[in-house]
Structure 1
C-alpha cells in the first residue's frame, strides 16, 4: 500500500511537471506566432510602400518604364503572385516576360555594342507599345490598398 501511494504521488508529480512544461511551450508557440504575424505585416507594409514609390515615379516620368515595370512585377509577386494576373496589372508580367532574356549589370557591360543597341531598340519598342498601359497600371497601384 505504501509503495502504491508513493508511485501514485510520483506519477501525479510527473503529470503536473509535464503539464506545466506543455503550458510553457504553448505560450512560446503563441508568442512566436504573434512575432511572425507582426514580421509579415511589416514586410507587407514595406513592399506596399516600395510599390507606391515606384508607381509614383512611373506616373511622374521619373523612372524608366521598363525598369519600373520589372521592379513592380517582382514586388507584386512578393505580395501575391496573382496580382499581376489581374487585367489592369498584367502589363507588368508582359514586360517582365518580354525582357527577361535581356542582359543586365555586368553581362550588359560585357556585351558587344551591336547587341546593346539591339536590346535597347527592343526595349524602346516595348515602351512605345505598352507605355500607356504601364502608366495606367502604375496609377491604379497608387490607389490600391494592399
Structure 2
C-alpha cells in the first residue's frame, strides 16, 4: 500500500506540475495576443492619422493630386479594405490604375524629357478630369469615412 500511495502522490505531483507549466505557456500565448492586438491598434491609428494628413494636404493643394490619390489608395488598402472598396473612394483606385505604368524614383529620372512630358501631360489630363471627384472623396474621408473603422472596432 505504501508504494501505491507513493505512486499516487508522484503522479499527482506530476499532473500538478504539468498543469502549472501549461498555465505558464497559456499566459505567454495570451500576452502575445494582447501585444499583437495593441500593435495592430497602434498601426491602425498611425495609418488613420497618415490618411487624415494626406486627405487634408490634398484638399489644401499642398500635395499633387495624382501623388495624393496614389498614396491615399495604398494606405486605404492597408487601413480598411472595406473602406477602400467604398464607391466614394473609387476615384483613388481609378487614378492609381491610370498611372500604374509610370516609372518612379530612379526610373523616372532615367526617362528622357519627351517621355516625362508625355506622362506629365497625362497627369494633367487626369487631374482636370478627376480633381473634383478626388477632392470630394478626400473631404468625405475626413468628415465621415475615417470615423467608420473606429466605430466598428
Report TM bin, short chain: over 0.9
Q: Deviations over 1:25-48 (max 9, x none)?
A: 111121111111111111100000
2:32 alignment counterpart: 32
1: distance between equivalents of 2:17 and 2:84?
53
2:113 alignment counterpart: 113
Structure 1 stretch displaced more, 74-83 or 133-142: 74-83
TM-score (ref. length: structure 1)? 0.95
Residue 133 of structure 1 deviates from its aligned partner by 0.5
Superposition misfits of 4+ residues, deviation over 3 angstroms: none
2: distance between equivalents of 1:82 and 1:126?
25
TM-score (ref. length: structure 2)? 0.91
- In structure 2, list runs of 5 or more residues that go unmatched: none
Whichever structure has more helix as a proportion of its residues is 2
2: distance between equivalents of 1:107 and 1:90?
28
Residue 82 of structure 1 deviates from its aligned partner by 2.8
2: distance between equivalents of 1:23 and 1:39?
24
Q: Deviations over 1:31-67 (max 9, x none)?
A: 1111111111111000000000000001111110000
Residue 23 of structure 1 deviates from its aligned partner by 1.1
SS of residue matched to 2:81: coil
2: distance between equivalents of 1:26 and 1:97?
46
- In structure 1, list runs of 5 or more residues that go unmatched: none
Structure 1 vs Structure 2 CA RMSD:
1.0
May I ask how many residue pairs the two structures share in their alignment? 146
